[in-house]
Structure 1
Amino acid sequence: MQTLAAARQAADPAVVSRLLDRGRDMLSARRTAEALLMLERAVLVPEAPPEAFGLLAEALLEAGRTEEALRAADTALAARGADGMLRLLRARIRRGNNDARGGLDDAAAAVMADPGSLEAKTLLATCLSEAGRHDEALFFFHQVFEAQPGSALAAAMLAMGFMRANRHEAAEELYALAEGLSGKPRGLVVLRAQNAILAGDAQRAAGMLEAALAAAPDSALWSMLGQAYHRLGLTDRAGEAYAEASALEPGNAYLRHLAVAVGARPAEGDRASEQYVTEVFDGFAARFEESLFSLGYRIPGVMLRILEAHLPDVAQGRARLGDVLDLGCGTGLMGAVLYDLLGGRLVGVDLSPRMLEAAGGKQVYTELRRADVLTALREDGTRYAAILMADLLCYFGALEEVLAAARCRLAPGGCLLFSIEAGEPGTGWVLTRNARYQQSAEYVRSALSQAGLVAIGFREEVLRFENGEPVRGYIVLAAPGH
């Protein structure tokens, strides 16, 4: 009887209104747990208003419960689909849930629903910029800046748009403007220094970062200073900077990996962490292909020729390639070059949501999965005609485990094709100062043997150029041993 009475009381519109008001107040005060208690009661009411689900979605997003937040936002939008604020909220949720395309779509809908909303335009511009659609992003960033010419944040956001579009001079002018305005956003010096590094002026970047650090220690400042020193060839000082950053943020696997790479911290594992790989490539996705091609990147074309030589019937069109697994697929460069040979499925796996978004845009993959390589291999029951690992194993030191896992997923007659960066003879595997791993040829052959594989092709190649110097490596074609 008490439960029934409570339900009747909760169904009273006045009670629901009080719950929503209280939940809204708790959200404003950033008392998320208390807000959730109020709002979860409110949505249990029969025919609860859409506003209740919208507020609940906002509270769940604040709590980091993005899947539940998305369901609540969907419920609210089902009843009020043209609501610009709800569209904006769902755009934020989708971005937090690594759904970049969905976030962009909702941000665009929010702008259409409320063309005067600067918040919606800022989010849409950010989504467009992250997707590499720079001209469209700059259009909306500029609209926000024109509406708020005295806003340091608006100036910094427009500057970031120019930086991502590789228009570094314009970005510097706007970052300098933002520095002189009141209310400048936290992290502005880091972004301005990053722009200077990308523009080729690491010396100026180091100067501004050193000046900022003299005022107050900060992990982001130290991390960017490490990058500036690295560009200047000051590897010892880069290591010290990364160590300082890691000490200020000991739980950050990205900073820890950089500190280990330059010898500032002892090694803690035999591969790069998931967090490190995800952060690197999420931040790099929009300019990934442009950057690679500017370095003379050759791996996809070389791998295609090796595969065609190994499978002449496929190369000449008398047969088709069966199911293919592209591990560390990135933006889908390997999928694009192999597409004409395929007769089966093409499955791509990567840790970076932004890279997977770019790969999906090529429309060549049957399926794309966000997963760690070893997890993907262990959970996949398919046997593949070919497994590809292009520019993946530079984030692994020890190879035995990943090669053995790949061996288990090969179909009879299947092959494994991968690239590695060449280490010095007798070194086994090493983590280099550029935060990537190298393996010696004899170590690779030994790891293949332990995994039950045999090399049927072991080709030395220049993989790309860095600072004008060739990066040498091997392209290895392997098959199960007998």
Structure 2
Amino acid sequence: MKKPQSRKTAAKRGNPIDDAMQAAVALHRQGRPEQAARQYAAILKLQPQHADALHYLGIARHQLGDHDEAIRLIGCALALAPGYVDARNNLGNVQKEAGRYADAELSYRGVIAARPDFAAAHNNLGVVLREQDRHAEARDAYRQALAIDPDFAQGWVNLGNALKRLGEIDEALDAYRNALLREPDSPEACRNVAQAMVSKGRHADALDLYRQWEKSKPDNPIVAHHIQACLAALGQAAANPARASDAYVQTVFNGFASTFDEVLADLGYCAPALCAEVAATLLGDARGGLDVLDAGCGTGLCGPLLRPYARRLEGVDLSPGMLDKARARGGYDSLHEAELTAWLGAHPHAYDLVVSSDTLIYFGELEDVLTAAAGALRPGGSLVFTLEEVEDAPPDLRHRLNPHGRYSHAGAYALAALAQAGLEVRELRHVTLRQEAGKPVAGLLIGASRR
């Protein structure tokens, strides 16, 4: 969002309206939108057709969370001054951030028609096209932005993301490299180049990039985890930690919360539905009389599928961002921010059904969490969960930390861990959990009961 700056750069000294406008803009640029909004509103009482005041009051209302009013006010400014390009661009920004992508597209196209060399408008057009799943058009918009401004690092990252989405991995890697050349300390560029290298099997090169990133972000849990994943891929068994750290899981999913559902839908993600199928097999018809835990509930995708079984449905997750999404989705009686093993251990004999969809893929060693789950179940209670599977695993392999940062497990190890926890396997299915890089992700879908 462009910072407020009045178009009247040479206001006449002593003009009260101009003086008030400059004071309001100064407040706004100091990061005080509420005070600025009051000043803009006072100006508009005296001069209702002041386009700058309408425009910047709209920005302030957007910053204060009132998106509908922001769009109305900026629209009024444009009705008075149709050629006010900055206002039209900011209208697109507000519409984009409010999720009105088709409207934002029209605004950005209007900006580009008036100012074809406005690189940011081409980039923002790409963003809203991407949100409408028009990835080839988004790629072309990013390329146009970069033709105007080749040093626009975020534009190169966005282009790389579009190319990767279109399966053009080599071209995506080139785009990410261009971003890194222009902004060597960019975490997003480092991560994307490294991930592209991982997808090409170039684990040593990816490790070098993560090491470079680690120098500028030594305490970043994502960097630390992916260094371990690359080392594991290079055969260093000591780099296979027992589980992903709480900080890694929380950081990743807080950042992923806003797009989680859409991204997984695009990947054909079906783990929640598969878990619901096994729950139905184990429990029969849903009668709403059970105490149910959605263990690693994320954004609440399992919630509507589990609700028919529950007199009480709880969710637990490490990520407050994901819990906010689950809360907005609704259907839970309570949601809790906690580490899963600790939560289960602190609630003995509390549940009739525990479901964990694609959560234990961030655990390597399963014994502790499965023992805690068994303790949290009442006698005869059921546990349903998914794992990513190591197919054709050698006899001595228990689990593997993969370059993408998730664990996969050998089926024999999972069964042994369940038996050790006192859980009896009642359903075991080999399934496809989703697609990744155009390939199916093999999974284990397990239903077990406490003896």
TM-score by length of 1: 0.68
In the alignment, residue 480 of structure 1 is paired with which amino acid?
R
Mapped contact 2:153–2:179 kept (Cα < 8 A): no
Q: CA deviation at 1:290?
A: 2.4
Mapped contact 2:261–2:299 kept (Cα < 8 A): no
Distance in 2 between the 1:236 and 1:248 partners?
Answer: 19
Mapped contact 2:243–2:362 kept (Cα < 8 A): no
In the alignment, residue 51 of structure 1 is paired with which amino acid?
Q
Q: 2:190 aligns with which of 222, 242, 263?
A: 222
Distance in 1 between the 2:430 and 2:154 partners?
Answer: 43
In structure 2, the CA distance between the partners of 1:215 and 1:459, relative to structure 1 (3 Å rule), is closer
Mapped contact 2:27–2:35 kept (Cα < 8 A): no
In structure 2, the CA distance between the partners of 1:149 and 1:126, relative to structure 1 (3 Å rule), is farther
Q: 2:68 aligns with which of 91, 104, 108?
A: 108
Match of 1:239 in 2: 207
Distance in 2 between the 1:269 and 1:288 partners?
Answer: 28
Match of 1:10 in 2: none
Residue 172, structure 1, aligned to residue 139, structure 2: yes
1:132-151 equivalence runs, <5 A? 134-142=101-109, 149-151=116-118
Q: CA deviation at 1:206?
A: 1.8
Match of 1:270 in 2: 243
Match of 1:7 in 2: none
Residue 300, structure 1, aligned to residue 272, structure 2: yes
In structure 2, the CA distance between the partners of 1:248 and 1:335, relative to structure 1 (3 Å rule), is same
Match of 2:94 in 1: 123
Distance in 2 between the 1:114 and 1:282 partners?
Answer: 29
Q: CA deviation at 1:357?
A: 5.7
In structure 2, the CA distance between the partners of 1:208 and 1:435, relative to structure 1 (3 Å rule), is same
How many pairs align? 391
Distance in 2 between the 1:426 and 1:54 partners?
Answer: 69
SS of the residue corresponding to residue 64 of structure 2 reads helix
Distance in 1 between the 2:160 and 2:445 partners?
Answer: 37
- Percent of aligned pairs sharing the same letter: 27
Q: CA deviation at 1:85?
A: 5.1
Mapped contact 1:257–1:276 kept (Cα < 8 A): no
Q: Which runs of 5+ in 2 are unaligned?
A: 1-21, 40-56, 78-86
Q: Which runs of 5+ in 1 are unaligned?
A: 1-20, 36-49, 56-82, 92-105
Mapped contact 1:222–1:241 kept (Cα < 8 A): yes
1:284-299 equivalence runs, <5 A? 284-293=259-268, 297-299=269-271
Match of 1:385 in 2: 352
SS of the residue corresponding to residue 187 of structure 1 reads helix
Distance in 2 between the 1:24 and 1:142 partners?
Answer: 27
Mapped contact 1:125–1:140 kept (Cα < 8 A): no
Q: 2:396 aligns with which of 417, 420, 426?
A: 426
The one-character-per-residue Cα deviations of 1:81-113 (angstroms, maximum 9, x if unpaired) are: xx745532333xxxxxxxxxxxxxx32332234
Instruction: Report which stretch shifted further, 267-276 or 219-228.
Output: 267-276
In structure 2, the CA distance between the partners of 1:25 and 1:90, relative to structure 1 (3 Å rule), is closer
Match of 1:479 in 2: 449
Q: 1:200 aligns with which of 167, 183, 193?
A: 167
Match of 1:155 in 2: 122
Match of 2:256 in 1: 281
Q: CA deviation at 1:262?
A: 1.8
Mapped contact 2:254–2:322 kept (Cα < 8 A): no
Match of 2:35 in 1: 51
Mapped contact 2:386–2:444 kept (Cα < 8 A): yes
The one-character-per-residue Cα deviations of 1:186-209 (angstroms, maximum 9, x if unpaired) are: 422111111111111111122233
Distance in 1 between the 2:348 and 2:102 partners?
Answer: 43
Q: CA deviation at 1:394?
A: 0.8
Match of 1:409 in 2: 376
Higher relative CO (Cα under 8 Å, sequence separation at least 6) belongs to 2
Q: 2:363 aligns with which of 386, 396, 407?
A: 396
Mapped contact 1:258–1:435 kept (Cα < 8 A): yes
Q: 1:463 aligns with which of 433, 438, 441?
A: 433
Q: CA deviation at 1:419?
A: 0.9
Q: How large is the Cα RMSD of the aligned pairs?
A: 3.9
Distance in 2 between the 1:217 and 1:51 partners?
Answer: 38
Mapped contact 1:394–1:420 kept (Cα < 8 A): yes
In structure 2, the CA distance between the partners of 1:362 and 1:458, relative to structure 1 (3 Å rule), is same
Q: CA deviation at 1:125?
A: 1.0
Distance in 2 between the 1:374 and 1:137 partners?
Answer: 44
TM-score by length of 2: 0.72
SS of the residue corresponding to residue 126 of structure 2 reads helix
Q: 1:347 aligns with which of 314, 333, 340?
A: 314
Residue 89, structure 1, aligned to residue 63, structure 2: yes
Q: CA deviation at 1:432?
A: 1.3
In the alignment, residue 332 of structure 1 is paired with which amino acid?
G
Q: CA deviation at 1:396?
A: 1.4
